[in-house]
């Protein structure tokens, strides 16, 4: 089985990579995890609840100072290196990295020392595990630490979301950033985005989570993600509400008696309203340890994302069906924004290794190549590690 690294991963290897690249030792490292969302997809920008957790895969930054009044960064994932003069207004090129740097320097109002940063990651990029939010939160944390500044978890999350909105053009909700900033080992976060209220729910040791990366990619900014947001707003306009999450299913049904069921905005609204209800159900099932009911809700979420919200793909549907055909899989679904990316499978305790083998054989039977497989665990949120 693939080894999925755990925290606190190998900071000495990170330190060595930094030293090889910059020729000096780093001062500190930042670990910024990815996230899995148990349930509550496309509900966060509709004022609804979500149930994510930070995971044991992360972006790592090792950071040292330089005397050149500039910020130099190397990203191992993309092979990109950039250098910024800190005296000037941050500039940007067309790359995502430069936009993130410009956003982070601007919003933190960075006036600290020159910095060398080596960014490394064991988080698959663009797979629906929030690699982008993980990078942004980590980058902000680096700049704050270098300036000896602190922000609360929620302030950090909101700043990272602002960078997505204003510098990357992705009108995302707040789920990813909150999970990454506030994650706790062994717990999922029931986040009610309307009130920004968090309840930590213990994830019992007798379920396991596997993530399978379909390797199909579609970037959020160019995908239909923003379009879904617009369709939800259109639904709000017809229904006379500010947020779709403020409606119950009964209210939605009675308000739309005369509307054709295949009307686009109504389908989107039906997904959001039913998904919000499923989040609360799954939270209860988690507390009660009722994994069969939990799995059914996970699979129902997939059907809704596929049929009503139209964010799944034929490949993903095949992967979900393959996962669900395994006897010890409680439920599976597409995860994250969709349009490709990865699936989440909820498994009985101890089943992950056998499930991986089973899944591999299913792919062979379907004449498909093996796909990256990760066992993920609820882990701590963003953290700073000081080298001695
Ligand atoms: C992306 C966004 C989140 C959320 C999910 C879909 O991960 O960043 O805010 O909307 O998609 O649930």
What is the mean pLDDT, run by run of 10 residues, along the chain of 388 residues? 46 92 96 98 98 97 95 94 81 81 94 96 94 97 96 98 95 97 98 98 96 88 85 97 98 96 97 98 98 98 98 97 98 95 97 97 97 97 92
Within 10 angstroms of residue 194's Cβ, the number of other Cβ atoms is: 16
Residue 348 CA, ligand 1 centroid: distance in Å:
27
Residue appearing with tokens 């609840």: 49
- pLDDT attached to residue 44: 98
Choose one of 175, 222, 340 to mutate for the ligand 1 pocket test, by most ligand atoms within 8 angstroms of C-beta. 175
pLDDT recorded at residue 222: 65
Sheet of strand 28-37, all strands in order from the earlier edge strand to the far edge: 80-85, 70-75, 114-121, 52-66, 28-37, 383-386
342 burial via Cβ count (<10 Å: 0-12, 13-18, 19+): buried
Where are the extended beta strands (E) located within 67-144? Answer: 70-75, 80-85, 114-121
Confidence (pLDDT) at 11: 83
Options 3.30.230.10, 3.40.50.300, 3.30.830.10, 3.90.226.10; CATH of 12-202+379-386: 3.30.230.10
Contact between residue 120 and residue 17 where contact means Cβ atoms under 8 Å apart: yes
Give yes or no for residue 42 CB within 6 A of ligand 1.
yes
* Closest atom of ligand 1 relative to the 175 alpha carbon: 9
State the alpha helices, DSSP H only, in 197-290: 225-239, 249-255, 264-288
User: With contact defined as beta carbons under 8 Å apart, do 297 and 331 qualify?
Assistant: yes
- Say yes or no: CB of residue 175 within 6 Å of ligand 1: yes
Q: For ligand 1, say whether the CB of 342 is within 6 Å of any of its atoms.
A: no
Q: How far is the CA of 40 from the centre of ligand 1 (A)?
A: 9
- Cα(64)–Cα(303) distance, integer angstroms: 48
Report the 10 Å Cβ neighbour count for 145.
Answer: 19
| CATH number at 207-376 | 3.30.70.890
Cα(272) to ligand 1 centroid in Å equals: 13
Q: In testing the pocket of ligand 1, which one of 44, 51, 133 has its CB within 8 Å of the most ligand atoms?
A: 44
As annotated, the active-site residues are 176
Radius of gyration of the chain (CA): 21
**Pocket perturbation via mutation, ligand 1, pick of 221, 337, 342 by most ligand atoms within 8 A of CB:** 337
Q: pLDDT at position 218, please?
A: 77
**For residue 86, how far is its CA from the centre of ligand 1 (angstroms)?**
32
CB of 164 closer than 6 A to ligand 1?
no
Which part of the chain is CATH 3.30.230.10? Answer: 12-202+379-386
| 45 CA: nearest ligand 1 atom | 10
Comma-separated ranges of CATH 3.30.70.890 domains in the chain: 207-376
pLDDT at residue number 12 = 87
Determine contact, residues 183/380, Cβ cutoff 8 Å.
yes
Give, using CA atoms, the residue closest to atom 1 of ligand 1.
337
Q: 61 C-alpha to center of ligand 1: Å?
A: 24
Task: Determine if ligand 1 sits within 6 Å of the CB of residue 337.
Answer: yes
Residue 388: the pLDDT is 74
Residue 43 Cα to ligand 1 middle (Å): 8
Instruction: Give the CB-side neighbour count of residue 337, counting CA atoms within 13 A.
Output: 30
Residue 351's pLDDT is 97
Look at residue 60 in the predicted model and tell me its pLDDT.
97
Instruction: Give the number of the atom of ligand 1 that is nearest the alpha carbon of residue 40.
Output: 12
Residue nearest to atom 9 of ligand 1 (CA): 173
Ligand 1 pocket, 176 CB below 6 A?
yes
Q: How far is CA 96 from the centre of its chain?
A: 17
d(CA 84, ligand 1 centre) in Å: 30
């Amino acid at each position: 089985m693939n080894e999925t690294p755990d925290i606190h991963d190998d900071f000495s290897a990170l330190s060595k990579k930094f030293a090889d690249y910059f020729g000096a030792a780093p001062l500190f490292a930042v670990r910024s995890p990815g996230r899995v969302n148990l349930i509550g997809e496309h509900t966060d920008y509709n004022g609804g609840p979500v149930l994510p957790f930070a995971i044991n895969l992360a972006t790592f930054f090792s950071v040292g100072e330089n005397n050149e009044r500039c910020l130099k960064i190397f990203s191992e994932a993309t092979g990109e290196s950039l250098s910024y003069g800190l005296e000037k207004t941050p500039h940007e090129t067309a790359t995502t990295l430069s936009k993130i740097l410009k956003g982070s320097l601007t919003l933190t109002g960075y006036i600290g020392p020159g910095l060398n940063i080596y960014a490394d990651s064991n988080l698959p990029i663009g797979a629906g595990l929030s690699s982008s939010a993980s990078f942004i939160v980590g980058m902000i944390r680096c700049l704050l630490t270098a300036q000896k500044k602190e922000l609360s978890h929620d302030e950090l999350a909101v700043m990272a979301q602002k960078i997505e909105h204003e510098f990357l053009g992705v009108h995302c909700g707040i789920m990813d950033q909150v999970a990454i900033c506030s994650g706790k080992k062994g717990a999922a976060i029931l986040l009610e985005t309307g009130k920004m209220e968090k309840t930590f729910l213990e994830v019992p040791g007798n379920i396991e989570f596997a993530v399978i990366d379909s390797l199909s990619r579609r970037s959020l900014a160019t995908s239909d993600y923003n379009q879904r947001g617009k369709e939800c707003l259109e639904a709000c306009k017809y229904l006379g509400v500010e947020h779709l999450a403020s409606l119950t299913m009964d209210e939605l049904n009675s308000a739309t008696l005369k509307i054709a069921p295949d009307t686009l905005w109504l389908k989107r609204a039906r997904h959001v309203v039913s998904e919000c209800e499923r989040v609360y159900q799954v939270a209860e099932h988690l507390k009660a340890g009722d994994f069969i009911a939990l799995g059914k809700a996970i699979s129902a979420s997939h059907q809704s994302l596929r049929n009503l919200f139209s964010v799944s793909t034929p490949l993903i549907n095949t992967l979900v069906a393959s996962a669900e055909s395994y006897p010890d899989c409680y439920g599976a679904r597409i995860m994250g924004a969709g349009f490709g990316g990865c699936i989440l499978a909820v498994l009985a305790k101890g089943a992950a290794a056998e499930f991986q083998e089973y899944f591999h054989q299913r792919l062979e039977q379907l004449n498909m190549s093996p796909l990256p497989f990760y066992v993920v665990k609820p882990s701590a949120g963003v953290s700073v590690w000081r080298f001695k």
